[in-house]
Amino acid sequence: MFTGLVESMGKVQTVEKTAAGRRLVIDPGGWDHVPDPGASICVSGCCLTIVSAGDTGFVFDVIHRSLEITTLGGLQPGDLVNLERSATMATLLGGHLVQGHVDGMGVIRGVDSGDDWRIRIDAPPEVSAHLVDRGSITIDGVSLTVARVLRDDSGRPEGLEVALIPETLARTTLVNHREGGTVNLEADAMAKMVAVHVERILAERQDGA
């Protein structure tokens, strides 16, 4: 579990194909955290397990499925990623509860830079179904507030808009995103759990009718 507060921006050093997927070596960017092998690190929204951490950087093995459903499959040497260590019971929850389980990739519809920096993102149904104005969303591992839910002509949610403050732009990779790019999206875990339970209750009532 994570909080969505990025602790460091890392740089991809190498990407190596393996039988199971790919091995990533990431320079943690001066981050003083040295994780033990087996520890979990959130890499741009994806929970990955540390293979080793040393002078060459953090080493991760990523399976084919993760490469297919997240932006990790497109990483190249030199790319920047957001990094966060896993939370503990003593961790200050400054963002919101983030599982590191990406629900889908979003496509950036537009970026308004300047004093009021905003990003509009088209989201897949598995994410858009759980969007709420002023609710929580995780974008590339960053905990953000949904400034506005984007809807189609019939009123159904199809995306979101977020506003980025200078601190977020300075500390995360979100400043580098442009129209047409892709991002990892994770809907609020609590919203997903509520939806599952409500659907289950409604189904049981229908079966009993």
Same domain, 70 and 142: no
Tens digit of each residue's pLDDT (9 = 90 or more) over 102-123: 999 999 999 999 889 999 999 9
Instruction: Determine the Cα–Cα distance for residues 124 and 185; give it in Å rounded to an integer.
Output: 9
Q: Is residue 204 part of a domain?
A: no
- CATH number of the CATH domain containing 57: 2.40.30.20
18 and 72 in a single domain? The answer is: yes
Integer Cα distance of 154 and 121 in angstroms: 18
pLDDT at 208 over 70: no
Task: Tell whether 77 and 12 lie within a shared domain.
Answer: yes
- Dig out the tokens for 69 from the structure: 């459903």
Domains identified in the chain, total number? 2
pTM score, two decimals? 0.92
pLDDT tens per residue, range 140-156: 999 999 999 999 999 99
- Residue-number span of the structural domain to which 189 is assigned: 104-196
- The whole-angstrom separation of Cα 2 and Cα 194 is 20
CB atoms near residue 140 (< 10 Å): 28
107, burial (CB in 10 Å: exposed 0-12, middle 13-18, buried 19+): middle
The answer on 72 and 23 residing in a single domain is yes
User: Measuring CA to CA, which residue among 107, 85, 95 is closest to residue 177?
Assistant: 107
